[in-house]
A and B are shown apart, each in its own frame.
Chain A
């Protein structure tokens, strides 16, 4: 980066910047901020504003209604469980895709992205067909919490795999060979050399996956049955309360979900920052 500015200075000069360049910079920045404000910032601001409209006391009492709490607990609990599974299986899958070789590997690699490509409602419908009342394999978990877990596992499957893969590809294989030559067992090589380097990748995937799982609606809405206190997730709670006109109830839970999203984004940012720690001279 230092080289970049050193080279740029003589060409553009500090004072004599061509006006077209200055205009372009202002324009692109202006457009970006305007677009983001209208599309993202204002709606979110409106939500936060609406939730505090009646004061924090009111917000708290609405947010801690038993049904709301049950829905949030279910969403967070399910998301946590699913995230844990993804952390392990996702890492294994990424490992197999990068280090192993077998017929059909490129097909498998392509298929990982299916949850990104398939509409969530369709995913929910197919899970219902496979693991619901008319299941061809005799498994019926419709209207249970297991169904929610299955749906969330489907939609969050690619996250850890896709964040770990590029990191694995970049790893210095010779460092692993060095560790072996120093006497480290295969498990030790993984623990001391590979894992510390892929951990940021795992964490980003986990944070993104958790955020996605906690707010998922499309995949869950058909298969869970949306039974309050049993299989009603937070997103369905919000939806139902909007429909029934209870905007403050919906807004309260929505803000909690929003805060969780913010926390996950902060985590990812923190991971990105921490990764560059030992690269900064």
Chain B
């Protein structure tokens, strides 16, 4: 195929849609100078928003990592009826709108919801409080580790594990010393993707959190809040920090990406 026209189309499109906007954050944030930027970033509510984002991620990522590995092992190694269904359910968060996720949690944990009664009776607040935000974030970032580990496990085959067993290793030892090291790069890549998703979550937490400043706002919610209150410096400032984090994530993704040729 003729090279140059295709190359120009692809690169031109990327510039317009991707790189242009990215450059803007870096530019606009420094528009009004470093002073206002620092002030808005050190606002206690902003600091709290970042802290909350990190705490939620710190809970959601390990949970989904463990789930991802266990689930992948169950799907690939144990043949059970309904493995296909489990696979589909794991993929569900990728296809569902975050707002739909938020609403379903709202209905489940709300006052009149199936779980709502129980939690209310015990005085535990789920909605409009961090617990619902954690649950929402776990939902939306669920698939990533599982989806990375499943194909890697499949390709690995069971020969190494069988060899370990003939040498006397029990199930746990085999898992810890043979299986886990073999899938570690897939797990790491999955963790990077999960973290990115957690940091960037907006729609689902927007619904369940109530967006109370200083209490149930994550960094992404705060960006919108700042924008709607005409605090552009604030909005761009938080966006800048998030963008820098994204670039770090992007670099991590590029480094840990499973070799496509090996995978294919």
Contacts and interface: CB of A to CB of B under 8 A. Distances in A.
Given A96-B10, A218-B202, A242-B106, A39 B142 contact: yes
Nearest to A250: B103
Nearest to A186: B1
Nearest to A273: B84
Contacts of A21: 171
Given A29-B80, A39-B138, A120-B202, A24 B171 contact: yes
A78 interface: no
A119 B220 contact: yes
Contact of A218 (B98, B253, B254): B98
Chain A residues touching B, majority SS: helix
A96 B162 CA distance: 42
Nearest to A162: B260
Interface string B94-124: 1111111111111110000111000000000
B202 A89 contact: no
A153 B105 contact: no
B142 A40 contact: yes
Interface residues of B, number: 95
Chain A: interface size category: 35 or more
Interface string B213-230: 000000110011001000
A271 interface: no
Interface stretch (B20-28, B32-40, B42-50, B180-188): B20-28
A112 B75 CA distance: 30
21 contacts: A4-B157, A11-B162, A11-B165, A21-B171, A24-B171, A25-B78, A28-B70, A43-B105, A93-B10, A114-B246, A116-B196, A118-B22, A118-B243, A119-B246, A125-B25, A126-B21, A129-B28, A167-B264, A215-B97, A218-B202, A268-B91
Interface of B: 1, 3, 6-7, 9-11, 13-14, 17-22, 24-25, 28, 67, 70-71, 73-75, 78, 80, 84, 86, 88-108, 113-115, 135, 138-139, 142, 157-159, 162, 165-166, 170-172, 193, 196, 199-203, 206-207, 219-220, 223-224, 227, 235-236, 239, 242-243, 246-247, 249-251, 253-254, 260-261, 263-264
Interface of A: 4, 7-8, 11, 18, 20-21, 24-25, 28-29, 31-33, 35-36, 39-44, 46-47, 49-50, 89, 92-93, 95-97, 99-100, 102, 106, 108-123, 125-127, 129-130, 136, 150, 153-154, 157, 165-167, 169-170, 186, 190, 208, 211-212, 214-218, 221-222, 234-236, 238-239, 242, 247, 250-251, 254, 257-258, 261-262, 264-265, 268-269
